[in-house]
Structure 1
Amino acid sequence: MSMAFLLFFSTLMLVQVAQARNLPDFTELVEENSAAVVNISTTQEARSRNSRGLPFDERQLEQLPDIFQDFFRGPQSPFGQSPGQAQPRRSMGSGFIVSEDGYVLTNNHVIEGADEIIVRLSDRRELPATVIGADPRTDMAVLKIEDDDALPVVRIGRSANLKPGEWVLAIGSPFGFDYTVTAGIVSAVGRSLPTENYVPFIQTDVAINPGNSGGPLFNLDGEVVGINSQIYTRSGGFMGVSFAIPIDDAMSVFRQLRDDGRVSRGWLGVLIQEVNRDLAESFGLSRPHGALIAEVMPGSPAEKGGLQSGDIVLSYEGEPINLSSDLPPKVGRTTVGEQARITVMREGRERTLNVEIGRLPEEDDSVSTSEQPSSPGTGPLGLRVEPLSEDMLENLGVSGGVLVAEVGRGTAFEAGVRSNDVITELNREPVRSVEDFRKIANNLPTGRAIPVRIVRDGRASYLVIKP
């Protein structure tokens, strides 16, 4: 028995030693790269407020006569500070040096609104930084520091080569603890988040916390492959899901901010939506995939290139579009003025179009509304529709359609149709009048999904009705 136990114990030890040998050793990587990682501390000056709530900073107040300073600041406390007077706001983050002449990359939210930015190196040098440029869309900022001594730099890798399961490592200052090292694996690539359509995030399980923002994500070769940017959390702390900006995208933004002071992104000029199972069935697709074009903006590159509402984008420059979120990053990375090859499904047939990509303009936010069903409708599909006036047609930018005046309980409401929606297509046929709507609706096939195109709050989308 003792011999068998000894044999088993020896075998177990050998297995554990073999497994330990397969685990990566990060010590050399950390030693070689820590010097190029920096701590970023920011200060936002306190704002005093007058009786009307208007903000003034201290420098502006000091230029006023004493009587006005006392009025704006309010009564002084025995400790020389007005009761409730705002204190300077301080925050911390991380960053890394990408060039010997002192360019530093970090997150935009780390330095946004800061009046003073200090970059601290591993040898405890503290250098003031100036903002070269920032891009809120990608949450990136480029800083510049100056020093007589040589500045250490990181090596830049390729995020396009990352694969799920690959080891990665982060260096940063969570909660102000400088040069904290955490490691994990790549959980997924190409993640799209609701707050940002133009960044295909790297998802990892590397422990990231407040203060890590802007810090580098390394691969095992000691190359930066991402910028740690966000975490998914319900508690405010790390929960095993963190996101990094791919370094390929980050370096493109860096070069544009450094050279031009602004970022230019490709733009098609379409509103897209996900193709779910019902939409795939209604458009004749064998499975859900692609990006459904709900609206083509007038005068946009998409309109000039021949794209139409109802087209389903299947590939972009030869790369398949599986989810609608795959399309915006690919378009955004395309150089303005270049021709892009886009394959779409239109009326059951694939077509390839060459579209010249434009420059992305400022976005306008729109708010969608939802409401409860009213009393049962009296028309086809449980809808009561009305004609659109000339003014409404002009304001909505549509050539025809009908206004949904009332929605009763039934398939239309279950599909998401609401009062004040404008129906412009039904079963892929244009609706230009109440008569058109009734004629198409009364002859719809049963037992299969039917697409209906609506315009709500100025934005078009497709819904699916099952009569």
Structure 2
Amino acid sequence: MRNIRLRAVRTAFAAAMLLAAPAAQPALAQSNSGPASVADLAEGLLDAVVNISTSQNVGGEGRTQPRMQAPEGSPFQDFFDEFFRDKDGQGPRNRKVSSLGSGFVIDAKEGIIVTNNHVIDGADDIEVNFADGSKLKAELVGADTKTDLAVLKVTPVKPLTEVPLGDSESMRIGDWVMAIGNPFGLGGTVTVGIISARGRDINSGPYDNFIQTDAAINRGNSGGPLFNMNGEVIGINTAIISPSGGSIGIGFAVPTELALNVINQLREFGETRRGWLGVRIQPVTEDIAESLGMADAKGALVAGVIRGGPVDDGSIKAGDVIIRFDGREVDEMRDLPRVVAESPVGKAVDVVVIRDGKEQTVQVTLGRLEDGDDAGDETTGDDGGPVGEAPQTLSVLGMTLAELGDDSRQEFQIAEDVEGVVITAVDPDSTAAEKRIEPGDVIVEIAQESVKTPQEVQERIAALKQDGRRNALLMLAGPTGELRFVTVRMD
């Protein structure tokens, strides 16, 4: 089971591990304290949940552990030398490593099985073990690292049992769920719990939207299903928080609302084909919302537009706040990548943005997300500033500002395509210092208006104060051109 580190959990829960669950059928009676029994439900689902074992040949040169050696002159010297050489006597032996996980059948006729990508990642051989003791070799149909999902295919020699994918969106916090999986290689194991939370972001990928459950899931449960009480899969168990390696009642499952589209694309194309907008975004904080005149802190703030991307035509601009995408609300920044990725490539969609304090609707045509498309963006502009002259400076909000010329570009190693007003010094006791603004940063815009001289910065700050604003929204460019938005208090 793969270990992941959750950035949001920095204390006793530093280590996070991957986990699992199973399948579907009859509804069951419930009492006020929980389900009276899950025996009938589990009986109809166990056959659809499988154990997955993988093996991988690792070359001797890839060994990370030190080679064992016998003392010089030891009678065991020949044994150790022979053991650590390959069959040709030319070097360290290859070795075979194996791992165990879980999965479940979603298409009995075609032999389609869903599991986690990390269960089968790098495997040379994949074997599926069924509840009746039978085993089948499996081939990889496709895998997606961003959601940690994989689809396998076996050739059935007798009828298989399948389970349906249910509606995870209808599940509520407190609903009972059941997991079936292969913890520690023990085979089909049933556990019951509730949904503890929804929409969890554990920093494991760009589309985190996990269901949290207290159903006991452990190492080896990865890739197994999480069932509702109607026997429908509403999640694929993927990770746990555990300082000890065992269950402490905090587990995470990929919801079917996210997994379904990925599974269908893997089955059809053998890969994912996600929509791509071509923007870099950051959260809308209370300070940013106030500086833009927004009543609520919501949406995704566009920090930059990627050159050559789908919206590099001016339809969406840096400083826009995206609040609605193709009819779906964007309440938080992390909502946008998910809804864009789930949209078909080439689709024309309406995007509602807040620009200059007003809502505007623009139509964009989505591109296809390729590896590296989200790697960065660039800005364009010409060199501004006199050659060989000392730049004029002003002090504003604890920052010493100067016009951007050849000398300052050389001093701070600022790229030629960055334009604006360079910050040459920052008062360590200022709000600007608290926001980690540093010498060499370049002010590109203030309150969505471009600035090129220190005087323009001063004038924009004065105008914002006159309008009753408490914060100034600065678009800053780093020396290499990467953009970010920062709010600075003006009182």
TM range (shorter): 0.7 to 0.9
Tell me the residue number matched to 1:261. 270
User: After the TM superposition, which of the residue ranges 125-134 and 84-93 deviates more from structure 2?
Assistant: 84-93
How do residues 335-414 of structure 1 correspond to structure 2 at under 5 angstroms? 335-363=344-372, 379-386=395-402, 387=404, 389=406, 400-409=419-428, 410-414=430-434
Tell me the residue number matched to 1:68. none
Q: Secondary structure at the match of 2:318?
A: coil
Tell me the residue number matched to 2:117. 108
Tell me the residue number matched to 2:103. 95
User: After the TM superposition, which of the residue ranges 228-237 and 350-359 deviates more from structure 2?
Assistant: 228-237
Amino acid at match of 2:359: E
2:45 paired with 1:33: yes
Instruction: Determine the C-alpha separation between the residues in 2 that align with 1:190 and 1:352.
Output: 28
Displacement, 1:308?
1.4
Contact map agreement 2:394 2:455 (CA 8 A) in 1: no
How do residues 314-333 of structure 1 correspond to structure 2 at under 5 angstroms? 314-333=323-342
Instruction: Determine the C-alpha separation between the residues in 1 that align with 2:145 and 2:474.
Output: 35
Instruction: Determine the C-alpha separation between the residues in 2 that align with 1:38 and 1:196.
Output: 26
Displacement, 1:443?
6.1
Instruction: Determine the C-alpha separation between the residues in 2 that align with 1:187 and 1:136.
Output: 25
CA deviations over 1:75-113 (Å, ceiling 9, x no partner):
753595229967422211100111122111111111111
Q: Secondary structure at the match of 2:201?
A: strand
Contact map agreement 1:304 1:355 (CA 8 A) in 2: no
Instruction: Determine the C-alpha separation between the residues in 1 that align with 2:472 and 2:439.
Output: 19
Instruction: Determine the C-alpha separation between the residues in 2 that align with 1:405 and 1:128.
Output: 64
Displacement, 1:388?
5.2
Contact map agreement 1:108 1:139 (CA 8 A) in 2: yes
Contact map agreement 1:416 1:463 (CA 8 A) in 2: no
Contact map agreement 2:292 2:447 (CA 8 A) in 1: no
2:43 paired with 1:48: no
**Any stretches of 5+ residues in structure 2 without a counterpart?**
1-29, 65-76, 86-91, 377-392
How do residues 63-462 of structure 1 correspond to structure 2 at under 5 angstroms? 77=79, 80-82=82-84, 87-100=95-108, 101-304=110-313, 306-363=315-372, 379-386=395-402, 387=404, 389=406, 400-409=419-428, 410-441=430-461, 445=465, 448-456=470-478, 458-462=481-485
Q: Secondary structure at the match of 1:77?
A: helix
Distance 1:54 1:161, change over 3 A: closer
Displacement, 1:228?
0.6
Distance 1:434 1:398, change over 3 A: farther
Tell me the residue number matched to 1:7. none
Distance 1:454 1:77, change over 3 A: farther
CA deviations over 1:346-395 (Å, ceiling 9, x no partner):
222111222222211223557xxxxxxxxxx9732332345155999998
Distance 1:388 1:156, change over 3 A: farther
CA deviations over 1:17-44 (Å, ceiling 9, x no partner):
x956863421111111110101011112
Percent identity of paired positions between Structure 1 and Structure 2: 38
Contact map agreement 1:275 1:288 (CA 8 A) in 2: yes
Displacement, 1:412?
0.9
Instruction: Determine the C-alpha separation between the residues in 2 that align with 1:397 and 1:240.
Output: 53
Amino acid at match of 1:147: P
Instruction: Determine the C-alpha separation between the residues in 2 that align with 1:173 and 1:391.
Output: 59
Count of residue pairs brought into register by the alignment: 419
Q: Secondary structure at the match of 1:453?
A: strand
CA deviations over 1:112-141 (Å, ceiling 9, x no partner):
111221110001112111111111111111
CA deviations over 1:412-458 (Å, ceiling 9, x no partner):
11122123323211233212344534554566628711111112354
Contact map agreement 1:184 1:204 (CA 8 A) in 2: yes
Displacement, 1:273?
1.2
User: After the TM superposition, which of the residue ranges 436-445 and 391-400 deviates more from structure 2?
Assistant: 391-400
User: After the TM superposition, which of the residue ranges 77-86 and 184-193 deviates more from structure 2?
Assistant: 77-86
Displacement, 1:220?
0.8
Instruction: Determine the C-alpha separation between the residues in 1 that align with 2:482 and 2:252.
Output: 30
Q: For the aligned residues, what is the CA RMSD?
A: 3.1
User: After the TM superposition, which of the residue ranges 180-189 and 92-101 deviates more from structure 2?
Assistant: 180-189
CA deviations over 1:238-279 (Å, ceiling 9, x no partner):
333222112233232222222212111111111111111111
Greater relative CO, 1 or 2 (CA 8 Å, sep 6+): 2
Distance 1:190 1:107, change over 3 A: same
Displacement, 1:172?
0.5
Q: Secondary structure at the match of 1:196?
A: coil
Amino acid at match of 1:116: D
- Normalised by the size of structure 1, how large is the TM-score? 0.81
**Any stretches of 5+ residues in structure 1 without a counterpart?**
1-17, 56-74, 367-376
Amino acid at match of 2:173: P
Tell me the residue number matched to 2:11. none
Q: Secondary structure at the match of 1:451?
A: strand
Instruction: Determine the C-alpha separation between the residues in 2 that align with 1:283 and 1:436.
Output: 19
